[in-house]
Amino acid sequence: MDEHHLEDLLCLLEDSNSFSKAFSDDDTSVFDQAIEAAFRSGDFADLKHMVLHLNFPVNYQHSNTGVTALMASAGHGNTEMIQILLRKNANISITAGKLGNWSAYQFAQSQNQVEIMELISDKSAKILENYHKNFNDEVIDFKLLKKLVGKLHQDEPLAHSILVFLPGYDEIVNLKDDLERMQGLKVCMLHSQLASKEQRKAFQRFPNLRKVSTKL
């Protein structure tokens, strides 16, 4: 079982739509070549030029490997590129699906790039600090919960269900109302105030729908 902390989720959800954008075949070819040159041979000339001058999408993933500019820079210990990319809000939690699901931090770690690891860790800490400054820890962040469920729904096989624990009946109802606006979800509630018939739905199968169970 993978262990994730709040800062991991914030990084993951920070820019979750930007790296799913579709690009033209020509753009994909150019982006792939620049990342390939940087990742395989440490040649960052084209990639740096595109990031600085051509509005290169910093969270773009190589069409075959899933490698990003940040991962290539981390593996080669290119501090200058790391700093440029982080200033442009490169997402530190994207993983290369065909290369062990490694993140930029793991590529840096594999090459003992200590300075790069510290830069990425500092970025993670700042994201967490900013979240705590702008959100009351005593209040449930329904927006974050909705984004997280949406991300899981997008990435995980449909057969996988999602279980969300909440502190009370009102919170369960509020989240249910939010989630039911999302296509492809069946939200079931588990709470003593509900009739047994309603609660048993949480244990039923719903073909072509992902089940989300909310409970106390």
What share of the chain has pLDDT > 70, as a percent? Answer: 90
3-state helix, strand, coil in the chain (%, to 5): 55, 10, 40
- 80 falls in which pLDDT band (50, 70, 90)? very high
The pTM (predicted TM-score) of the whole model is 0.66
pLDDT in tens, 187-200: 999 888 888 888 88
Q: Where are the domains of the chain?
A: 6-134, 142-215
User: For all residues of the chain together, what is the average pLDDT?
Assistant: 87
- 17 falls in which pLDDT band (50, 70, 90)? very low
Tokens describing residue 51: 């990031």
Class of the domain covering 142-215: alpha beta
Of residues 12 and 38, more confidence is placed in: 38
The answer as to CATH 3.30.465.10 being correct for domain 6-134 is no
CA–CA separation, 155 vs 97, rounded Å?
Answer: 12
CA–CA separation, 201 vs 162, rounded Å?
Answer: 14
